Amino acid sequence: MEFEPYRGELVAYCYRMLGSFHEAEDLVQETMLRAWKARDRYDHTRASVRTWLYRIATNACLTALEGRARRPLPSGLGAPSDDPGAPLTPALDIPWLQPFPDARFDVGARADLRLALVAAMQVLPPRQRAVLVLREVLEFSAAEVATQLETTVTAVNSALQRARAALADAGDVGEVAEPDDPEVRAVIQRYMRAFEAADVPGLVRLLTDDAIMEMPPVPLWYRGSRDYGLFMDRVFEMWGPGWAMRRLTANGQPTLAAYAPEPGGGQRLHTLQVLTVTGGRVAHNVVFADPRVFQAFDLPERISSEEFRKAR
């Protein structure tokens, strides 16, 4: 019985449930171990291997979520700041939402992994969250989900209706353009060049009027191109020019690894920035500074100026 072909999609599922890539990997490993130990009890006449694995993974996720606080982004915790000079004090007691490294797994269609949707889903009770993903994303039937959750079809349909209503109240979590869209690539390329040149007016021209920047684990966030630009003035005053940017993707969105200049030459990994591009402008930038996030993306801690030039 082969379990490994399902690992990637199971990690994506557990990530949607928990909002943590590292915990998702651990729970899928636990799922595989449970399945292996129970393989003699598997009945192919009752469920496919895939359906059976999702039942095990769902139970593992629901157990892990018992009594657990949701994983938010800063914009989900309060109003935006109007002080671009506010202290950048991390809130390490909050279990922040993490990004998903696309390159680690072939997860097929990635729109349902976008950060805004995963963040909105964290507000749902765990069983509603499971019903929503199993029915809407993975397209299991109501009967299959009822079996996986040991409940009734009526209860599944009711939970799905409540989950949909809650997401509708969460605001705009609609579709975003894919990272390989030519317009998106052009915007990201211009953003990279402006960032590397410490060109704040150039960055601001690429933003929507109500662009959002947030920076977990710092609980601050800003709304509006003006405050975004003022904060970037502060960043470049602190670090200077000479940044290097590397392009990748996370959550099916364009993503940049930002390397800050070091006094002795070269650059050190500073942040991972997951961007949302709409209408030819950057509408949202979630800036991650957690070293554990960097590890998930297998990013080098430092790059030399020579390495950077060769990468170009």
Neighbours of 249 (CB within 10 A): 18
Read off the pTM: 0.91
Intervals of CATH 3.10.450.50 along the chain: 182-311
- CA nearest to 187, candidates 102, 309, 275: 275
Judge whether residue 275 has pLDDT over 80.
Answer: yes
Neighbours of 102 (CB within 10 A): 20
* CB 138, CB 43: distance < 8 Å: no
DSSP 8-state symbol, 101: B
For residue 25, give every residue at least 6 positions away whose Cβ sits within 8 Å of its Cβ, in sequence order, or none: 11, 14
**Distance of alpha carbon 133 from alpha carbon 14, whole angstroms:** 10
Strand 281-288 to 207-215 pairing: parallel
Tens digits of per-residue pLDDT, 193-205?
Answer: 999 999 999 999 9
Tokens of 170: 């969460």
* CB 8, CB 120: distance < 8 Å: no
| CATH T-level fold of 182-311 | Nuclear Transport Factor 2; Chain: A, (3.10.450)
Q: For residue 45, what pLDDT is reported? A: 85
Judge whether residue 62 has pLDDT over 90.
Answer: yes
**Distance of alpha carbon 111 from alpha carbon 95, whole angstroms:** 24
More confident residue, 159 or 69: 159
Judge whether residue 107 has pLDDT over 80.
Answer: no
The per-residue pLDDT of the chain, averaged, comes to 91
Percentage of the chain exceeding pLDDT 70: 93
Question: CB-based burial of residue 176 (10 Å sphere; 0-12 exposed, 13-18 middle, 19+ buried)?
Answer: buried
Q: For residue 105, what pLDDT is reported? A: 77
| CATH T-level fold of 4-67+111-169 | Butyryl-CoA Dehydrogenase, subunit A; domain 3 (1.20.140)
Tens digits of per-residue pLDDT, 223-233?
Answer: 999 999 999 99
**Distance of alpha carbon 253 from alpha carbon 59, whole angstroms:** 29
Please, what sign has the CA dihedral across residues 7, 58, 296, 116? positive
Question: Please, which pLDDT band fits residue 173 given cuts at 50, 70 and 90?
Answer: low
Percentage of the chain exceeding pLDDT 90: 78
The position carrying tokens 């392009």 is: 247
DSSP 8-state symbol, 70: P
E-only strand ranges, the chain: 207-215, 218-223, 244-250, 253-261, 267-278, 281-288, 302-303
Intervals of CATH 1.20.140.160 along the chain: 4-67+111-169
Question: Please, which pLDDT band fits residue 113 given cuts at 50, 70 and 90?
Answer: confident
Mean pLDDT, rounded, for 270-279: 96
Tokens of 141: 């039937």
